[in-house]
């Protein structure tokens, strides 16, 4: 999964719902926050798939891939892409629309709440020149619309590995997990480092994320102080540096924070440590 250009690539998609502040590694997002009580229906998925396949969405993808080329060549990203360059990208969807769940703030607080909350729907796409991207879709009124495009396929690929459970992300450390039969196991190396190769029971994971983030939720002294700090997935202990920092968006775990956290923290960490 190619993800090294996510931060800069997201920056050129600011007009579709997310404004990236690349220097700070943070993001501002419009739209709903995580919704523990909501699960997308087949009708939702079908409507989102239709929106993702619409001509306007294809044009947005084509422009995104052209801008990604500009970034990878070290060029300034133009505000508009040449029509011929866009046409050459011939973007196509390459996966089913799937729900993306994210770590639930109420669970982090230690409440008797679901581990993960629905954040958005995602679908993978590719260009004729071999690039890959993921479109994020959120509900707007009675329909669905594309709110972000990001390079790479994590957000489309990992949810496909649910295997009868629920796949969710802990975006602060770019970890992907599967929750099944009361146990949480890692799906990527960061998650495996976080919970071990055999995973942990839900109660143990609650203790882990409560230790990491509970004192950094909205309204906390940490959040009000504007301090930055780093975290390791193994211990959740601060390392006192900005590198790989989770702090800028830990406070975004509240309303509107799932989208901001997933965009800002994941993109920033992947830029620093591409794989």
Mean pLDDT of 182-208: 96
Q: How many domains does the chain have?
A: 1
What are the pLDDT digits (tens) for 67-110?
A: 887 777 776 655 665 778 788 888 899 989 999 999 998 999 98
Q: Is residue 180 part of a domain?
A: yes
User: pLDDT exceeding 70 applies to what percent of the chain?
Assistant: 63
* pTM of the model as a whole: 0.72
With a CB cutoff of 8 Å and minimum separation 6, the contacts of 225 are none
Q: Are 196 and 215 in contact (CB under 8 A)?
A: no
Which residue stretches of the chain are H helix?
A: 6-11, 42-53, 55-72, 83-89, 105-108, 154-157, 189-195, 202-213, 221-225, 247-250, 257-272
Residue-level length of the chain: 275
Q: Is residue 207 part of a domain?
A: yes
Query: Rg (Cα) of the chain, in Å, rounded?
Result: 18
Residue 244 pLDDT > 90: no
Q: Which residue has the higher pLDDT, 232 or 87?
A: 87
Q: Is residue 1 part of a domain?
A: no
82: containing domain:
6-272
Residue with tokens 């882990």: 208
Residue 30 pLDDT > 80: no
Q: What is the largest CA-CA distance in the chain?
A: 55
Minimum mean pLDDT among 127-141, 180-194, 202-216, 228-242: which range? 228-242
Residue 268 pLDDT > 50: no
Q: Is residue 239 part of a domain?
A: yes
Q: What band does 183 get if pLDDT is binned at 50, 70 and 90?
A: very high
Q: What is the DSSP-derived secondary structure letter of residue 79?
A: S
How many Cβ atoms sit within 10 Å of the Cβ of residue 37? Answer: 7
Q: What is the DSSP-derived secondary structure letter of residue 78?
A: P
Print burial letters for 90-119: b (CB count within 10 Å at least 16), e (below 16): ebebebebbbbbbbbbbbbeeeeebbbbbb
Q: What is the DSSP-derived secondary structure letter of residue 73?
A: T
With a CB cutoff of 8 Å and minimum separation 6, the contacts of 226 are none
Q: Is residue 40 part of a domain?
A: yes
Q: Is residue 211 part of a domain?
A: yes
Mean pLDDT of 29-38: 54
Q: Which helix (H) or strand (E) holds 125?
A: strand 116-126
Q: What band does 219 get if pLDDT is binned at 50, 70 and 90?
A: low
> How many Å from the N-terminal Cα to the C-terminal Cα in the chain?
8
Q: Return d(Cα 12, Cα 85) in angstroms, integer.
A: 16
Q: Which two tokens stand for residue 34?
A: 């995580």
């Amino acid at each position: 999964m190619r993800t090294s250009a996510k931060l800069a690539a997201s920056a050129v998609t600011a007009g579709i719902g997310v404004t990236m502040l690349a220097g700070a590694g943070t993001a501002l997002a419009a739209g709903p926050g995580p919704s523990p009580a909501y699960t997308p229906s087949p009708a939702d998925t079908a409507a989102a798939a239709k929106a993702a396949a619409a001509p306007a969405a294809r044009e947005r993808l084509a422009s995104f891939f052209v801008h990604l080329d500009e970034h990878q060549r070290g060029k300034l990203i133009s505000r508009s892409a040449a029509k011929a360059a866009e046409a050459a990208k011939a973007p196509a969807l390459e996966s089913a629309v799937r729900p993306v769940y994210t770590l639930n703030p109420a669970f982090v607080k230690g409440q008797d709440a679901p581990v993960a909350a629905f954040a958005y729907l995602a679908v993978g796409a590719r260009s004729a020149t071999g690039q890959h991207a993921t479109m994020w879709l959120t509900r707007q009124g009675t329909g669905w619309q594309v709110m972000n495009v990001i390079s790479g396929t994590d957000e489309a690929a990992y949810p496909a590995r649910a295997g009868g459970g629920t796949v969710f992300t802990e975006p602060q450390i770019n970890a992907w997990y599967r929750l099944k039969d009361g146990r949480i196991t890692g799906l990527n190396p960061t998650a495996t480092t976080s919970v071990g190769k055999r995973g942990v029971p839900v109660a143990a994971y609650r203790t882990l994320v409560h230790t990491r983030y509970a004192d950094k939720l909205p309204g906390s002294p940490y959040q009000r102080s504007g301090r930055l700090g780093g975290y390791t997935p193994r211990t959740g202990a601060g390392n006192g540096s900005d590198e790989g920092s989770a702090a800028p968006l830990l406070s975004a775990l509240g309303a509107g924070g799932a989208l901001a956290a997933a965009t800002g923290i994941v993109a920033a960490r992947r830029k620093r440590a591409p794989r």
